[in-house]
Amino acid sequence: MLVHPRGFAIVCRQRHKLIHLATGHREDDTILTQGPDPVTDESLSAAEPAFAYDRMVYIGHPFVQTHPDRLATIASLHGMQPAPVAGCRVLELGCGDGGNLIPMAYQWPDSEFVGIDLSARAVEKGEATAAELGLRNIRLLRLDIMDVGVDFGRFDYIIAHGVYSWVPQPVRDKMMAIFRQNLAPAGVAYVSFNANPGSHLRDFARGMMLFHVRGITDPATRVEQARTLLKFLAQVSTGEDWYGMLLRNQLERVCKMPDMLLYHDDLDESARAFFLHEVVEEAARHGLQYLSDASFSALNLQAEPEPVVNMISQIPEDDVLTREQYLDFVKGRAFRETLLCHHEASLRRQIPPQCIEHYHIAAHAVPVAEEIDPAEAGIGEFKTEKGGIISTNHGLSKAALLHLGKVWPRTVSFAELVDNASARLGAMTGAAGVERKADLEALTDFLFRMFRAGIVELHLYPPRFTTAIGERPQASLIARSQAPHGPLISNLRHSTIVLEDEIVRRFLVLVDGTRTLDQLVCDLNLALAGEPDAATPRVDGGSAGGRRQVTREEVERNLATMARLALLVA
């Protein structure tokens, strides 16, 4: 623990959730947490000029909100005709080590992916990963954004995650120019940035941290001392006044951040936040227009208090920008993930609920009660992945949620969902035409409201994986290649899970499509037998003395867990 001469030491760590695959115990299926400690290059002296992302490596991972399927889905909802994900071209500005782009290239081999970044170390790492996976449809280039020209060609999707707020104004101008000159006519650009008014609170803490670490060049020391200062200030602040509460709030935030994120975000002196309207106005000067937020649920009034709904409702529905800007004021949003398109595109701002009939649907919904009969009168309650509660008394909607929860994380077409929900409901299968039509309209309205609330997913081009356990199950190659190197694993839903237990990761490597279940049991036990005796994890969180044999039942149970984590290929 380093004690800086100016301050006080502090250690902040976030406890990771675990999956103990060898015993079948699962604390949480959805386990996205902070990554490993940052990698710093102590061989770079303070006197050497070095790109910040070479001094402290930023470990990349998938961002589901940047995936072409997400961008295409939202664009099509607004009446656009985006390029199919299979056979599209994707450009990522600031691609880092390819942690976001490489999983896309792995899943969609007929599409072309290009990423650029200034960090030589990151690009080299990404190139090595792509070569290990045998990917031929991706190029990672060490290149300045300012050097991207018309000769790069047109792209159907352009991604810039975590760049816009952290580059100088000329580079921001160039990014908008790239969106205009390199984006296909029906293309979609994604740009994220620190947003006001929420970032004003972050900047309140940033200013003090930056003053405290002035003159400190070592990345790890800068991060440690930034947290040190905030902890000291929070400890000496008086009572429950607004200043003390704000300090403690910011301390909690920075202690939850991975070191690499704190270093490259808060401790970047050039970082700047923007109001949404400022970015959209800048885009308009380059011939672009606002499409939507990457999270369609951003403009969701269902959970807002009545005064907010009344205020926002006074703004015309087609003035989406103004509505969202005022909602940012209400919510204090501090980060934005904005989608842009060419100003020539004709957009549909009032989206009819019936449009969901053209998409694949997914939802993680678990009945609160042990059993729900959708045909029975009364309200059925379902728990969402984030802990919220969905309530409905509509029979077909209850049946639909039961089916979606059963097949999660798999997507189903609307027609398949209706067929299965109707079969569960039973009595409605032979309903008269008028009654049936009204029932379907109620279902589409319900599902669309749940989509707007961020509970139901819509996919124009659903992810490719299986939830079935085959005779010789196979985990994705990208997950198997990541497993020996650490706990962060990319799944086939373009999300990150954490497998912290080494036995879990060794088992994952064995699930390569060549072994039957019995062979998996045998080979895992052979691998563990060659190690010194160690305590074996128990379901209750304790341990049993000595090494024991892994059973077939445990392997089957945990393969099912892997399937629900979207790690298995069809």
Tokens of 200: 């004003």
pLDDT of 534 reads: 45
Q: 239 in the Ramachandran plot: left (φ > 0), alpha (ψ -120 to 50) or beta?
A: left
Q: Count of CB atoms within 10 A of residue 288's CB?
A: 22
CATH 3.40.50.880 correct for 64-194+273-342? no
Coil, strand, or helix at residue 28? Answer: coil
Q: What is the dihedral of CA 370, 374, 376, 380, to 10 degrees?
A: 60
CA–CA distances in Å: residue 152 to residues 72, 119, 159, 257, 273: 22, 20, 15, 36, 29
Please provide residue 440's backbone torsions phi and psi, each rounded to the nearest 5 degrees: -65, -40
pLDDT of 531 reads: 64
Residue given tokens 């909607």 in the structure block: 397
Within 335-413, residue ranges assigned H as helices are 395-407
pLDDT of 270 reads: 87
Cis peptide before 537 (omega within 30 of 0): no
Coil, strand, or helix at residue 265? Answer: coil
Nearest to 375 by CA among 391, 359, 397, 351: 397
Coil, strand, or helix at residue 324? Answer: helix
Cis peptide before 219 (omega within 30 of 0): no
Q: Are 269 and 211 in contact (CB under 8 A)?
A: no
- Please name the helix (run of DSSP H) or strand (run of DSSP E) that holds residue 337, with its range, or none: strand 335-342
Length of the chain: 570
Number of helices and strands (H, E) in the chain? 19, 21
Helix axis angle for 198-212 and 219-236, nearest 10°, is 110
The residues pairing with 189 across neighbouring beta strands, listed in sequence order, are: 158, 340
pLDDT of 341 reads: 98
DSSP state of 522: H
Residues 6 or more apart whose CB falls under 8 angstroms from that of 265 comprise: 162, 166, 194, 257, 271
Residue given tokens 């790239």 in the structure block: 178
Q: What is the dihedral of CA 365, 370, 371, 377, to 10 degrees?
A: -80
CA–CA distances in Å: residue 11 to residues 195, 254, 256: 28, 11, 11
Residues of the chain under the 70 pLDDT cut? 1-58, 298-299, 427-434, 530-547
Residue given tokens 């036990």 in the structure block: 525
Please provide residue 457's backbone torsions phi and psi, each rounded to the nearest 5 degrees: -100, 145
Q: Where are the domains of the chain?
A: 19-53+197-264, 64-194+273-342, 360-459, 477-564
Nearest to 90 by CA among 8, 180, 153, 34: 153
Q: Are 66 and 158 in contact (CB under 8 A)?
A: no
Please provide residue 381's backbone torsions phi and psi, each rounded to the nearest 5 degrees: -115, 140
- 467 vs 563: CA distance, rounded Å: 5
The residues pairing with 290 across neighbouring beta strands, listed in sequence order, are: 340
Coil, strand, or helix at residue 190? Answer: strand
pLDDT of 170 reads: 96
DSSP state of 186: E
Residue given tokens 């985990």 in the structure block: 475
Q: 215 in the Ramachandran plot: left (φ > 0), alpha (ψ -120 to 50) or beta?
A: left
Q: Residue 321: CA atoms inside 13 Å, Cβ hemisphere, count? A: 15
Residue given tokens 């941290």 in the structure block: 209
Q: Count of CB atoms within 10 A of residue 509's CB?
A: 16
- 501 vs 484: CA distance, rounded Å: 11
Q: Residue 386: CA atoms inside 13 Å, Cβ hemisphere, count? A: 7
- 445 vs 447: CA distance, rounded Å: 6
Helix axis angle for 517-529 and 552-564, nearest 10°, is 110
